[in-house]
Amino acid sequence: MAPLRIGLAGYGFGGRVFHAPFIAAAAECELVGVITNLPERRAEVQARFPDAAVFGSLEDLAAAGAEAVTICTPAASHTQLTQQALRMGLAVVCDKPFALDAAAARETVRLAHELGRPLTVFQNRRWDSDFRTVRNLLAKGALGEPARFESRFERFAPDPGPSPSGGGALRDFGSHLADQALLAFGPARSVYAETHTNDRGLDDDVFLAITHERGVHSHLWGSFRQSAPGPRFRVTGTSGSYIVVPDMDSQEPRLVAGESPSPGGDWGHEPPERWGRLYRAGGSEPLESERGAWDLFYPAFADAVRGAGPLPVDPWDAVATAELLDAARQSAASGRVIDLLGAAGDGED
């Protein structure tokens, strides 16, 4: 199949670090160009990707023959730009947070279905090394019946703290935390949340306690104020536990340092000192981590657009995440546990 001709809308931190390297590295994709009107960003694109064009609008990108676009602009613009791209006939990858609330998320997914356009969400943390290891352990029943899931995205950046472009800690970190919990343990029955808001009006420290319909309890922390982060994961079941130390999956720091995935390289492989430990009665042992594989996302998206496979992330999953985060905001404001049963949207027809 011919490579999928795809462009980027936005070349801030997310576009240049999390998207452009993976599109450029995927044989299934061709980076047509980047939409940005900032002179310094235009220069960065031309220096790193001399074969890619720089455009001023979605219309210009589409006119150049793009078949798809990744929306990696500030969170408040995601819904408008995603819907515009869909109406123009483009397949779309939207970065997280997919939308600012569940109503906008549902509206966008329904539009994609009405138009018959492929739409997915860049939930790259599904392909984290440690989370892939968690899912593998759960699939094999290595922990017995799961009971509690603890997950943290904790960093120390009180000044300036979370970026307004990400929408605050609940929408930014919370989109990943909630997506992982729902993917691993299924729909939520209720949620209780606590948030701290900084002097710029953004939540910069959040906690969610989720009870899943299957009975598992997920405790999720997302913070820009935590100088002593807890374990990245602690998953407890009836016959064992798996714990990952505070260090995050190594793909992000490698990308920030300017690295890119390459075929046959060591991308996503964690050294032994970064492996988690598996605890059972009588002791514990290090467990080799699965390979971190953010590089699988764009090839899967290209296949889906060509009709050769499923979307890497079902957009209705992003609606479920948005519904959970809406309920979390309601809980934090009221101090109550919010019941989600019967409160979800219609789902896919």
Domains defined for the chain, CATH in brackets: 4-124+298-311 (3.40.50.720), 126-293+325-334 (3.30.360.10)
The rounded average pLDDT for each run of 10 residues, N- to C-terminus, in the chain (349 residues) is: 96 95 96 95 95 96 98 96 98 97 98 98 98 98 98 89 88 97 98 93 95 98 94 97 91 94 88 95 94 97 98 98 98 97 54
The residues near 314 (Cβ < 8 Å, ≥ 6 apart) are 120
User: What is the per-residue pLDDT for 318?
Assistant: 98
CB 290 within 8 A of CB 275: no
Amino acid in the structure at residue 125: R
CA 24 and chain centroid, separation: 19
Q: Which residues of 79-104 are buried (b: 16+ CB within 10 A; e: fewer)?
A: bebbbbbbebebbbbbbbbbbbebeb
pLDDT of res. 342: 62
Region of residue 46 (left: phi > 0; alpha: psi -120 to 50; beta: else):
alpha
What pLDDT score does 341 carry?
86
CA-CA distance, 4 to 23, in Å (whole number)?
Answer: 10
Report CA torsion sign: 255, 259, 262, 264. Answer: negative
Q: Quote the CA–CA distance of 108 and 221 in Å, as a whole number.
A: 28
Is pTM beyond 0.85? Reply is yes
pLDDT at 349: 44
